[in-house]
Amino acid sequence: DFYRNLFLLKGSNAFLEAGKHGCHHLQPGGGCIYLDADMLLTGKLGTLYLPDGIAVHVSRKGNSMSLENGIIAVNRSEHPALKKGLEIMHSKPYGDPYIDGVCGGLRHYFNCSIRHNY
């Protein structure tokens, strides 16, 4: 939830907060995978326009890479990363929907190497 709230409040400026006190493990060497998919939400608060998609924080700890939960709000079921995630979930029925499904789909399209310029 921390990353979701940070991205909601700071948007693309979230990475200017890297390394500052209170920003958990958000480090300058990290980055963000953002897949745009605008949404229109209707509910008790009225109509809310959410220009969002999937925002996932990529952090590096040593030689390992982790994908932290950001914002997942996709308005189309045919998104390539989500389709790949569903394929993974069908082949791994006891897997975790976020770690194996969504993150697995993202890893298929983004290798998250140090060479990627997020």
Q: How many CB atoms are located within 10 Å of the residue 18 CB?
A: 15
pLDDT for 29: 53
pLDDT for 71: 52
Q: Which pTM does this prediction carry?
A: 0.36
Which of 50, 48, 68, 51 minimizes the C-alpha distance to 59?
Answer: 68
pLDDT for 52: 42
pLDDT for 84: 74
The single residue of 17, 68, 78, 87 carrying the catalytic annotation is: 68
Q: pLDDT below 70 — which residues of the chain?
A: 1-82, 97-98, 102, 106, 109-118
Q: Nearest-5° angle of CA 65, CA 93, CA 70?
A: 35
Q: What is the pLDDT of residues 65-94, one digit of tens each?
A: 666 555 555 445 566 666 777 777 778 777
Query: Has 17 been annotated as catalytic?
Result: no
- For the chain, the domains span 1-110
